[in-house]
Structure 1
Amino acid sequence: MTEQHAHQFERGTDGPKVIVVGVDGSESSLRAAAYAAGLARRQRALLALVYVQPVVTAGVALGAPVAETTDEIAEELIAYLREATERVKGIFDLRWEFHTFRGDPYGGLVKAADELKADAVVVGASEQAGHRIVGSVAVRLVKAGRWPVTVVP
């Protein structure tokens, strides 16, 4: 047996250990979460679902209850994820955690990926027309070049 054949590929051991996916309740982010969940299940990786709560600035000045709204979104996302997990319990084995970070979506996901030691990041494609000009969170993450980034349409 030659030396190059001494080491055989072991299926399921060389993939990512932590997959971060950005969720905000949009259809695109939920599709990204579903894709990332399938990837995490197949790779036996931890799925870290991350909701980035926007920094409250102008809303506070106007007296708007922005923080309460973003907390409600986070709570709704957790409830939705728990329900979805219950539906597939016993069918799919999936380890997942839910995290919230504060800031802009790009900065929050970067911080999350760094702190959680992500091996991969999954995000939904932007549904906002202005991002075609300025650049979406997904494009900025790809340009950062720090993790493999999957953009789910």
Structure 2
Amino acid sequence: MNFELGTDGPRVIVAGVDGSETSMRAGAYAAGLARRERARLVVVYVTGAPAASRLIPDAAGAIEQALAEATEDMRRQVAAGAAYAGVNAEFVAVRGDPYQELVRVADALRADAVVVGSSRHFGHRFVGSLAVRLVKAGRWPVTVVP
């Protein structure tokens, strides 16, 4: 009987992070999974275009600077977490709707799995959280970390 060496697990794992406690746990979970499966880990940080920058044009520069600083801080956190977990993580920062951007990146990378944190917002029980929308898309296995 011949046995296959290696794994049948995911080769590309996309983790969505936004700085929340649950998303950071999701990133840690994805890093552990990537390490165990020897998979490529891509961490996606999605920021939206703040409404305040459209409403108050004078504040646009300060808002852009704050977003750039937050993105750089997240890049450092991801690099530190990846080093701690013993994996290489690619950091992708994008702007837009979190659902649409995660779908776009996961499709472009031909992801085998998507990992996100659970939502803590009360309204998502009725409207649908990011995680529920990703599961309903039915394109990849989705792990939702509490």
Relative to the length of structure 1, the TM-score reads 0.85
Task: Tell me how many residue pairs correspond in the alignment.
Answer: 143
Conserved? CA contact 1:22–1:29, under 8 Å: yes
Conserved? CA contact 2:47–2:94, under 8 Å: yes
**Could you report, residue by residue, the CA deviation over 1:50-104 in whole angstroms, capped at 9, with x for unpaired residues?**
0012134453222334333222221111111223344x3xxx5312100012111
Q: 1:137 and 2:139 equivalent?
A: no
For 1:2-151, list aligned pairs within 5 A: 6-10=1-5, 12-63=6-57, 64-65=59-60, 66-86=63-83, 88=84, 92-151=85-144
Any unmatched runs of 5+ in structure 2?
Answer: none
Conserved? CA contact 1:45–1:95, under 8 Å: no
4+ residue segments displaced more than 4 Å: none
Conserved? CA contact 2:112–2:141, under 8 Å: yes
Q: CA deviation at 1:49?
A: 0.5
Q: Output the CA distance in 1 between the equivalents of 2:77 and 2:132.
A: 27
Q: Output the CA distance in 1 between the equivalents of 2:66 and 2:44.
A: 17
- What is the identity, as a one-letter code, of the residue corresponding to 1:131? H
Conserved? CA contact 1:19–1:121, under 8 Å: yes
Conserved? CA contact 2:26–2:145, under 8 Å: yes
More helix by share: 2
Q: Output the CA distance in 1 between the equivalents of 2:25 and 2:145.
A: 7
Relative to the length of structure 2, the TM-score reads 0.89
Percent of paired sites with the same residue: 55
Any unmatched runs of 5+ in structure 1?
Answer: 1-5
Q: Output the CA distance in 1 between the equivalents of 2:78 and 2:52.
A: 30
Q: CA deviation at 1:130?
A: 1.0
